[in-house]
Amino acid sequence: MNRLVFCASVRAEDAREWTLARCGHHSLSDGRSVRHLGVTQPCLCGHSHCTLLHVTRSCPLFSDLRSAWESVAQTITGAAPSGLEDVAFLELIFAASGLWGAPGLVRANLRMVSSMMRRHREYLA
């Protein structure tokens, strides 16, 4: 496990959810388990695909979680995450090193992603 993730003072299940999402092992339509089934899953918000990028960046069903995270991320980085390109946006959430390795940001990333993944599974149940 990444040292910054290990030291982030979050619950083990939050670190696990974040790690699985980072590796592509999540229940969204671009996740490995769903891709192997050959199923494209529309989002419950009406978007054509329920991808990791869609959920973390723009899905209205997760706007409360994203809003709380964005305020922390902007305070720590000094830049609005919404202004980043897609690759840089995902790097901000999943890199946990270098410029994006501030402990408060890593903790906020872990909590946001794990909350989103749990909520998504609840929506599907």
Per residue in 37-51, pLDDT tens? 566 678 899 998 888
pLDDT over 80 at 96, yes or no:
no
What's the pTM?
Answer: 0.83
* Per-range mean pLDDT, top range of 36-40, 89-93, 100-104: 89-93
Q: Residue 104: helix, strand or coil by DSSP?
A: helix
pLDDT over 90 at 69, yes or no:
yes
pLDDT over 70 at 7, yes or no:
no
Q: What is the mean pLDDT of residues 22-30?
A: 76
- CA-based end-to-end distance of the chain: 30
Q: What is the mean pLDDT of residues 56-79?
A: 94
Provide the Cα torsion 124, 6, 30, 122; round to 10°.
Answer: 0
Are 115 and 13 spatial neighbours (Cβ–Cβ below 8 Å)? no
In sequence order, which residues have a C-beta less than 8 Å from that of residue 92 and are 6 or more positions away? 73, 77, 81, 84, 100, 105, 109
